[in-house]
Structure 1
């Protein structure tokens, strides 16, 4: 059950946040800056590509895969970008040790394989590096320095790019062995940006998309601003992330998205709700989700409690679960208007005004009508920045903090 009082008690939130999730989120901007600095030190600026690759394969698991999805969304259709998940999980002492990957049959000398890992010890990724080398693929590795995967990059003539660990990594490493279930590993909350930053810097260098250092630094500044906006000591009624967490209590959220950027944020939110709050959510993209989720809208969860048994005693019953729709969109301002607050409000402590939903497509109008017809709450979460990367940061910051607050309040 959600403890609403905890959301307005910063000291209690700090005590409940034993794995420093809120601190990791607040440090996202700093990790982008550090990752950029270390990528330059690793020699990325001296890279002289022969041309743009035919395809980019991003291999990893967890946030590394989500970073690959984000790169695909931001790159568009100019270059094939394919996240490469593990294909098997063999018995091993640690979950990551048993994972294995396989290159698709078409991968070859025209393609770039990026191996991304926050741990840097996965033997399956090292084997994949050998596969890629045998096929003549270009190789890049995002992993902590000194780890086996980073060292393997040198053996296969790959480009090593450092992974920036969280500021709390040492504290997490000091936890006793066996404290966590080895087959259910918990991931660093800020790993997404530590993976995505060197991936974007590399993509910019090889001409896949325009992501210059100044744009990434502006993203870091934006994440700093959003961290202040969603900070623990901001009252719930002035903190959009706390408000969203409270709204999610007692519901099964249907995360509908319009466009590739919003789809990445919805998938990320699904994973964070499961990992940090132990809550199920179902994600899908418009317009196909309107038919795929229709049964949940029109069924018992959509209708709420059983109205046919109106006179039964409900005093000792828990609140019934109900579905609600969160519609994630990228709604940049129209040409000639203000940039949705891209430069900040001037006072990040002030509560943000709710962004205008923006021009609605016919599909969005249909989604709103479907929810209204069945009395299902629909809330729109809008990334209003013009640049897709900044809109992605806006959506992910809000939903990451909301997942963290929901988990802390329900487990307190």
Structure 2
């Protein structure tokens, strides 16, 4: 179980944060500004497309695929947007072993274009590493098919070099400006006992990489008409991320820090992340990934109303709130607290203010807020069913919603909250 007193100890959090994940999240706004400036310099501002592509494929792994899901939610029916994950995995190439002491975990993975991809489609290849040979091969395959190609990768990487060979538009990946990962220090009293910290076989991905992919990607899709955001939406998103970083900063007490409160709420639970609509669905998927990546916790994500059917068995299983109701007199002193379900419902409720979440209109909120059930709106029927299901089985359900009218700003609110919460959950568990 998590010792939530660690959440109010900034020094302990800093000691546990060996790869500076909190700083990476705090710098997300700055990376968005830099990425937008470099994307304009790379030629996005000068684009004059003849029309939208038939489909957009976003190839990569990790945060690149999360960016694809977000793009699909923002594009709606304007264009088919599909994430392209690795199709297969093979042995690491000899060249990778010679050039790098520790090859990327994605080394040896391969990607495959779908059979329908062709000259009227756009392929975006995104990588924070830029040296996956499978992505280089994918770029060559797309060039042979006549696809338009955009590459988001670090300057000087193999993928950036391949972009020139296949006449792709190269867009910058803005890396994190953070110091190298710190190795864990020996516990007190064990320095002289030959203590050696375990080497991380699976280093976690930079949590700020999502915005380094999403900013140039959205700058591109705005120019090509795939997305239609309000004027100034992209630059203002950086401000929203800065505001979230201030609210969720490590030295903010848990009772004023929504991310710490959410992390404490998830401790000792099996989270069901339910979402109302595609935008919140993208956030739920991202949160489930980050809980696994950063918090080391499993979570199930799903869209309403499908999630009610897909997850209903969880409410009558061993994790349900009413599990083991008959054995009241069993001695539980020496037993660990049981894991229970916790439902988090993520929503985008445009125009509803924090002070009056049930109002028909109002100013944008300052961030995500906990919102009671609302079964009056057309989309509230599934939400009401979710509340009734949880209440019938004594499972706690909490809503988190953003009332910002701009969907990208609402996304920034919810992603920042859940990203910080996943990191805090992992750090507090590690510090304990």
Question: TM-score per shorter chain, which class?
Answer: over 0.9
Counterparts of residues 13-412 of structure 1 (less than 5 Å): 13-92=13-92, 93-168=103-178, 170-172=179-181, 179-181=199-201, 184-211=202-229, 214-303=232-321, 306-333=324-351, 337-341=361-365, 344=366, 354-355=370-371, 360=377, 361-412=380-431
Cα distance change on mapping 1:338 and 1:231 into 2, 3 Å: same
Query: Which residue number corresponds to residue 11 of structure 2?
Result: 11
Residues of 2 paired with 1:126 and 1:172: CA distance? 28
**SS at structure 2 position matched to 1:114:** strand
**SS at structure 2 position matched to 1:231:** coil
Query: Which residue number corresponds to residue 348 of structure 1?
Result: none
User: TM-score, normalized by length of structure 2?
Assistant: 0.88
**Over aligned residues, Cα RMSD in angstroms?**
2.1
Is the contact between residue 201 and residue 213 of structure 1 (CA under 8 Å) also seen in structure 2?
Answer: no
Q: Which runs of 5+ in 2 are unaligned?
A: 93-102, 185-197, 353-358
Is the contact between residue 305 and residue 320 of structure 1 (CA under 8 Å) also seen in structure 2?
Answer: no
Is the contact between residue 143 and residue 162 of structure 1 (CA under 8 Å) also seen in structure 2?
Answer: yes
Query: Which residue number corresponds to residue 187 of structure 2?
Result: none
Residues of 1 paired with 2:403 and 2:3: CA distance? 31
Instruction: Give the C-alpha shift of residue 210 in structure 1.
Output: 2.1
Is the contact between residue 51 and residue 224 of structure 2 (CA under 8 Å) also seen in structure 1?
Answer: yes
Cα distance change on mapping 1:174 and 1:117 into 2, 3 Å: farther
Residues of 1 paired with 2:144 and 2:45: CA distance? 27
Residues of 2 paired with 1:107 and 1:2: CA distance? 48
Residues of 2 paired with 1:338 and 1:312: CA distance? 52
Cα distance change on mapping 1:337 and 1:211 into 2, 3 Å: closer
Is the contact between residue 19 and residue 182 of structure 2 (CA under 8 Å) also seen in structure 1?
Answer: no
Residues of 2 paired with 1:124 and 1:223: CA distance? 33
Number of residue pairs matched by the alignment? 400
Q: Which runs of 5+ in 1 are unaligned?
A: 346-351
Cα distance change on mapping 1:357 and 1:229 into 2, 3 Å: farther
Give the 4+ runs in structure 1 shifted more than 3 A.
Answer: 172-175, 352-360
Instruction: Give the C-alpha shift of residue 14 in structure 1.
Output: 1.2
User: TM-score, normalized by length of structure 1?
Assistant: 0.93
Q: More displaced, 380-389 or 326-335?
A: 326-335
Residues of 2 paired with 1:173 and 1:403: CA distance? 20
Instruction: Give the C-alpha shift of residue 305 in structure 1.
Output: 5.1
Is the contact between residue 67 and residue 213 of structure 2 (CA under 8 Å) also seen in structure 1?
Answer: yes
Is the contact between residue 16 and residue 408 of structure 1 (CA under 8 Å) also seen in structure 2?
Answer: yes
Is the contact between residue 161 and residue 198 of structure 1 (CA under 8 Å) also seen in structure 2?
Answer: yes
More helix by share: 1
Instruction: Give the C-alpha shift of residue 204 in structure 1.
Output: 0.7
